[in-house]
Amino acid sequence: MSDVTVAPVTAEHHREPLGIGETTPRLSWVTSTDLPGWRQVAYELEIGTWSSGRVDSADSVLVPWDAPPLASREGRTVRVRVWGADDAEPSAWSEEVAVEAGLLSPADWSARLVRPVLPAREEAVALLRREFVLDRPVARARLYATAQGVYEAELNGAAVSDVVLAPGWTSYRHRLRYRTHDVTGLLTEGPNAIGVHLAEGWFAGYLGFTGKRGWYGDRTGALLQLEVDHPDGSRTVVTTDGAWRSTTDGPTVRSGLYSGETVDFRRDLPGWSAPGFDDAAWTPVEVADLDAATLVAPTGPPVRRTQVLPVRAVTTSPSGRVLVDLGQNLVGRLRLSLPDGPAGTEITVRHAEVLEHGELGTRPLKAARATDVAVLDGRGPRTWEPRSTFHGFRYAEVTGWPGELRPEDLQAVVLHTDMRRTGTFTCSDPDVSRLHENVVWGMRGNFLDIPTDCPQRDERLGWTGDLQVFAPTASFLHDTTGMLRSWLTDLAAEQRELDGVVPMYVPFLPLLPFPQQPETGWGDAAVVVPWVLYQRTGDTGLLAAQWDSMTAWIDAFAARAGEHLDFPGGGFSFGDWLDTAAPPDNPAAARTPWQCVATAYLARSARTVAQVAEVLGRDGARFAELGERAAARFRAEYVSPNGRVAFPSQTAYALALEFDLLEPGQREHAGRLLAQQVLADGFHIASGFLGTPLVTDALTNAGELATAYELLLQRGNPSWLYAVTMGATTIWERWDSMLPDGTINPGEMTSFNHYAFGAVADWLHRTVAGLAPAAPGYRRIRFAPRPGPGLTSAAATHETPYGTASVSWALTGGTAFALDVVVPPNTTAEVVLPDGSAPREAGPGRHAFTCTIEEPRPVERPALFFDPDAHA
């Protein structure tokens, strides 16, 4: 037996393959060994009683399921063993993994949607219940559940899972996710009860910034199907139907995603989800139709509680308010250890991301009240955490607390999609390391079921432009593929209803007063996000699934560009949104006109679709031709023969260079001009959402690495590190969301948790640390660190589909460079040292390299250079 261990098999992109929607899920595994240079040459899969036998193949990622397909409800165990080139015997078998299908056909559903009778008040929360008797022992039980609203299900007084805010937010008219729960251990022979806590959530609650609720419907509803298998082979099925009863007189008085939650413990109903509870005063539910064809199994993990943080400090504001500081801007809610107090005592908690002059800064929340209230019942202490809401906050203001509020009386519960962390980065500059940590926290807060722009104000929408620029960073930091595949499926569904136009946010709501149109940089998410995920995972199936969406977007985008690709219709476009030159009340007023940006994006996206066609074996000639026409149009309209771009802006040059829009003879001069532009801007950010992620790469690839480092390490406003110096723990929407005097930016939209500008972390990973895929899915890895002035070390790790890749380097004495890399089994690597020597090949295992380099020097500033920070 070989000295190799094989991690348990994963199915598709599921962390928990229970109730999946794929009948033939592709399988992946990771090997580990201390044998240097080990590579897999063969594998054997066992799927239930089926065996592949020995298969001579090095493949270990997304390997086809060649066994008979899964049927609804069917589960099989899967395990794998492998052989290396020098192994006479296979490895030990991996642990078995149970893979189980959900309900795959509308005909599998016998449950009906049940709706509670709601009172006239908004944001009412309902409890629904039903009792039933099992007259035989329980061998296996599954609960298939979803809701129009957000729900938590209980069986016999116990929660069926640790999932929160289920079923999340999808384009409900097209897709409603259900989840499968193993509830075998919660049922008993004899009387049983099932209960559901049901709030408005995204389905019926307030959404967006128009003050409107009920976009999908004004009534909540639940759909549950409990299937209990008995040892004798029989099955008992309990579903939502007319036998259920409901009430809105439970302890949760109101709950809204934006407004918060109120609980009145005087209304507590002990045992409401257990057998024997008296529900005679409850109201019969109403039974409604639900199209079972819209019910889909999830492709990614659910939202969960992922961390609990202690309170850093309890202080008093200048006005005498009691303030709680968590020390970290996060997304979730507070868990309160409530004291005893007279019945009717109200404890109110208001949330905000920042303090303004020592007081809670709530103006950026706009209409989101973000307020939780607990009413005591006088029956002793208890612990309470809201169930159906979340907030973006670092600070909280607490009023009504009996006695002294102590730090240990509260904890922050962090919520987000339970993605596996896959990437890390650190370096010698603590501010840059903190910047990266801010990016991580910003992503965690905004990847809550969908990738949102911000998690705190009355918006929280899945803006396509934000994710388009952030996808490379996101896919390094966490395993996002399952979650984003769901979001991309919604994108395609919404797009079909808009004649190929990708909406500005997904799921789409008609919030804005103008019609949808092809929006450059935003709609391009249809192309960029699948391509990035393919580069990081090697998943060609994802590309195939999104092919129609990609091509429909290019057709719609080209139609707006017009026959001559000159965008003749004019009109509004977000363009390089939030360019630093834009005034607070006009974030679209960028240095680079949107038509210039749009031409560049049309070229890039059309070329990308041509590449996708090549991967899929399809004809991409018309997309390649369109891409070249757009590139030629960009040069003809916006570039001089020697490479000078018409608009002296960082964005214009970065687009031209990074989207490969220039002739070879123009590139060198354009690169120098970009560096000169950054110098003229005082090494400050002078770009917006679409330009900023490209500037450091454009400088690096143009041979202006020192300028890229100067831009990174700038601490004056606007810069990445300005917010760090101001105490930020997430990425801000505006470079100066907080002004130096502690005043919140006067702009109408000012978020302190917006990940878009954190896209620079991708450059930190690939260039500063030097870890990037050299082939789709990291089958081949590129280690190419580029040390620059101001940093003496950096390190990164990434959990590739083949195992952990890592890189760390240190520069001592200014010229002595030492590099350590780890290459995962079953991969190869290209190692490029910064001394200009030829690349080296590296096989699986740990490798160390040393070389001597020229000491990185800061950019020389001209004698007449004016540094605005030095004269502030």
- Which residues are identified as catalytic? 459, 733
Half-sphere CA count of 69, side-chain side, radius 13 A: 9
Backbone phi and psi for residue 201, each to the nearest 5 degrees, phi listed first: 55, -150
Q: Point out which residues pair with 849 in neighbouring strands.
A: 819
Residues 6+ apart with CB under 8 A from 863: none
How is 358-377 classified by DSSP, letter by letter? TEE--GGGTT---EEEEE--
Instruction: Indicate left, alpha or beta for 605 from its phi (over 0: left) and psi (-120 to 50: alpha).
Output: alpha
| Sheet of strand 283-284, all strands in order from the earlier edge strand to the far edge | 158-159, 150-155, 190-199, 126-134, 245-247, 283-284
Residue 498 DSSP class: T
The amino acid sitting at 869 is D
Is residue 290 classed as helix, strand or coil in its secondary structure? Answer: coil
CB-CB neighbours of 383 under 10 Å: 9
How is 157-210 classified by DSSP, letter by letter? TEES-SB-SBT----TTT-EE-EEEE-GGG--SEEEEEEEEEE-HHHHSB-SSS
Asked if 516 and 498 count as a contact pair (C-beta separation under 8 A), the reply is yes
- Residue 741 and residue 726: Cα distance in Å, rounded? 10
The amino acid sitting at 776 is P
Asked if 99 and 228 count as a contact pair (C-beta separation under 8 A), the reply is no
Pairing of strands 179-182, 113-115: unpaired
| Angle 354-360-365 from CA coordinates, rounded to 5° | 70
Asked if 199 and 125 count as a contact pair (C-beta separation under 8 A), the reply is yes
Instruction: Indicate left, alpha or beta for 646 from its phi (over 0: left) and psi (-120 to 50: alpha).
Output: alpha
Asked if 201 and 388 count as a contact pair (C-beta separation under 8 A), the reply is yes
- Residue 325 and residue 359: Cα distance in Å, rounded? 12
- Residue 310 and residue 754: Cα distance in Å, rounded? 24
Half-sphere CA count of 92, side-chain side, radius 13 A: 11
Is residue 139 classed as helix, strand or coil in its secondary structure? Answer: coil
Look up residue 680 and give its two tokens: 């003229």
- Residue 80 and residue 91: Cα distance in Å, rounded? 9
Look up residue 357 and give its two tokens: 């002059």
- Residue 625 and residue 256: Cα distance in Å, rounded? 50
Backbone phi and psi for residue 72, each to the nearest 5 degrees, phi listed first: -55, 135
Residue 854 DSSP class: P
Backbone phi and psi for residue 379, each to the nearest 5 degrees, phi listed first: -110, 20
Q: Point out which residues pair with 263 in neighbouring strands.
A: 252, 374
How is 693-740 classified by DSSP, letter by letter? HHHHHHHHHTT-HHHHHHHHH--SSSSHHHHHHTT-SS--SSTTSB-T
| E strand or H helix at 636 | helix 621-638
Look up residue 485 and give its two tokens: 């595949």
